[in-house]
Structure 1
C-alpha cells in the first residue's frame, strides 16, 4: 500500500479474511451490515480491521457514533485491493471445484449479448455454463443458488457487485384481443391512461420508473413472470418488458409493441460482493473485456 511501510512480520499476520473484511466495509460503510454480509459478529469484524490497521501502520477508517468513512489511506488501499484481491482468491482457489458455472436469470436470457463471452469462457476454462431461470428479484445470486446473475432495471441490492453490460429498449405487452394490439407504437406517457400490470418479484419495470406526476392510475401487482403473462393475455392490463420480447414472443396471446419516450432499461451482471467464486470473477472479466460497459 502506498504511503506506509509495514514490516515483514506485520504483513505476514494479514490474511485474506482481513482484506475481504476491509473491502466489504469500505463498500458498506457500516459495521452492522458488513458483519451480516460476512456472517460474523461486529466485535470479530472490528478486531479484523484493527489488526489490518496495526499491521499497515495506518488508520483506514474514521469512525464516530454516527458514521464510518474511509481515510485517505483507506481509499488508496480500497482501489488497490479491488483488483488484487479477486485475482489472489482466484489463484489460490482449486481449479476444478465446480464443473458448471451457473448463471441465474429471471426471464428471457439475453443470449445474443453474452453468447461470445459464454463460448470463450467454456473453451478457456473447460467449464460448462448452465443457465438457470429463477423467478426471484436477484435470480438466486443473493442466496448462493447461482454464482452469477443477469439482472435488469434499477439495481440497489446490498451485498452484490454489479457490472453494467448493456441497456435495452422497452416495449409494451398487451393482449392480442386488445384494440391496442393494432398500434405500431405507444408512447410511454400513454400507459398512464391504461391499467398496468407490474411483476413485483422479478419484473424489470416498477412503478418508480415513471415520474411521480405521470404514474399509471390503475396498477395491478403480481408475483411472477408466468402469472404476469397470463394476466396480460387475459386482458387484465398492459405490461412493460425489454424489446427482447419482440424477437422471442414468449406467449401466443400477448402482443409486443415498441414504446417511444421510455427510459432505457439497464442490464447487469451481478455476483456476491464477498466470497464470489473465482470462476464468476473470470466470467465477468471476460464479459468486460468483450467491450461491455463496467459500472
Structure 2
C-alpha cells in the first residue's frame, strides 16, 4: 500500500479538529493539499473515511475505527522514529499540592528506566501551560475531552466542602450536593475540581467569589465569603485553623486526570502516564 506518514497525520488532524481549515492551519498546509492527502488515504484504504458538508466534517464508521487506532499508534510510531533527547526533561505541571506517593513513585520509575529527568512544576492553570507547549503532561482535577488532547482518569474521589469555622455551615455534619442552590460558592476558575456547570441550571449555587488557585479559594472561605468544594485529598492536605472540611452527600465523584497532547508531544509522555496508572493502581489495590 502507498500509505505514508503524512497521509495518516493529515487524516488524524482532520478527525481531531472535525474541520479542514483548522486542521490545515495546525499542520501548516494549504487546505486543498490536506484535502488531497485525505482523498489519497481513502483511495488506499478503499473506504470513505469522512462525511464532508459545507459546515462540518463527520467520521464514517470506518473513519471512526481508524481514528481510534491512529490516536494511540501514531504518537508511538513517531516517538520510535525520533529517539529521546537525553537532555530534554519531561515537564509535569500541576496546581496545588502534589498527590499522594503514587505520583512520586511514577516519577522515580520513569527517571530510573529512561535516565530522563521529570521536572515537577506548580502552575495555577496546568491546561493552559500544556496548550502553550510549556508542559508535556498536566495533572488536573477535571474530565478533559478536548479532541487534540489525550486524557486518562487516574483516580476518583469523593468531595468535601470547605466551610468557615464560624459560618452557619460549620456545625453541620455534611452538606447535600442538591442543596447547593442555597450556597454562596467560591469558584477556582483555573484549576478547581468543582464548576457551577456541574449542576442543572435551576440548581446552581450563587457564585460569591472567583479565584485562581486553591490558596485563594481557602482564603476567601476563611474570610466568610462562601464555601468551596474540593476532592477529599485536597481537604486533607490543606488543614486551616479557620476552616472545616465536611462531606458533600450525593456529589458526583471528582476525577483526577493526566493529560498530554495527542500529537507532537514528548516521546516519554505516554510512558509516564502508564507508569502513573500502574503506581496509582498499586496504591488502590493495597
TM-score bucket (shorter structure): 0.7 to 0.9
Secondary structure, counterpart of 2:92 in structure 1: strand
Matches of 1:77 and 1:158, distance apart in 2: 15
Matches of 1:250 and 1:131, distance apart in 2: 23
Deviations 1:138-183 (A, max 9, x none): 1511111110001222433352111111111111112233243343
CA 1:41 to 1:207, structure 2 compared with 1: closer, same or farther past 3 Å? farther
2:115 corresponds, among 122, 126, 134, to 126
CA 1:114 to 1:224, structure 2 compared with 1: closer, same or farther past 3 Å? closer
1:64 corresponds, among 42, 47, 53, to 53
**Maintained 8 Å contact 2:93/2:123:** yes
TM-score (structure 2 length as normaliser): 0.86
**Maintained 8 Å contact 1:104/1:139:** no
**Maintained 8 Å contact 2:184/2:227:** yes
Unaligned ranges ≥5, structure 2: 282-286
1:283 corresponds, among 245, 252, 272, to 272
TM-score (structure 1 length as normaliser): 0.83
Matches of 1:259 and 1:56, distance apart in 2: 52
Deviation at 1:291, TM superposition (A): 7.1
Matches of 2:74 and 2:247, distance apart in 1: 44
Matches of 1:200 and 1:149, distance apart in 2: 16
2:152 corresponds, among 159, 163, 167, to 163
2:260 corresponds, among 253, 256, 271, to 271
- Structure-to-structure mapping, 1:23-62, within 5 angstroms: 23-62=12-51
- What is aligned with 1:243? 232
- What is aligned with 2:91? 102
Matches of 1:37 and 1:289, distance apart in 2: 33
Matches of 1:41 and 1:189, distance apart in 2: 51
Secondary structure, counterpart of 1:150 in structure 2: strand
Deviation at 1:73, TM superposition (A): 4.1
Secondary structure, counterpart of 1:274 in structure 2: coil
Deviation at 1:210, TM superposition (A): 1.7
Between stretches 235-244 and 95-104, larger displacement belongs to 95-104
1:117 corresponds, among 75, 100, 106, to 106
Deviations 1:165-222 (A, max 9, x none): 1111111112233243343322223433231111222222111112222222453323
CA 1:159 to 1:83, structure 2 compared with 1: closer, same or farther past 3 Å? closer
Deviation at 1:265, TM superposition (A): 0.9
Deviation at 1:72, TM superposition (A): 4.6
Deviations 1:205-256 (A, max 9, x none): 1111122222224533233433222211111111111111232125443332
Q: How many residues align?
A: 281
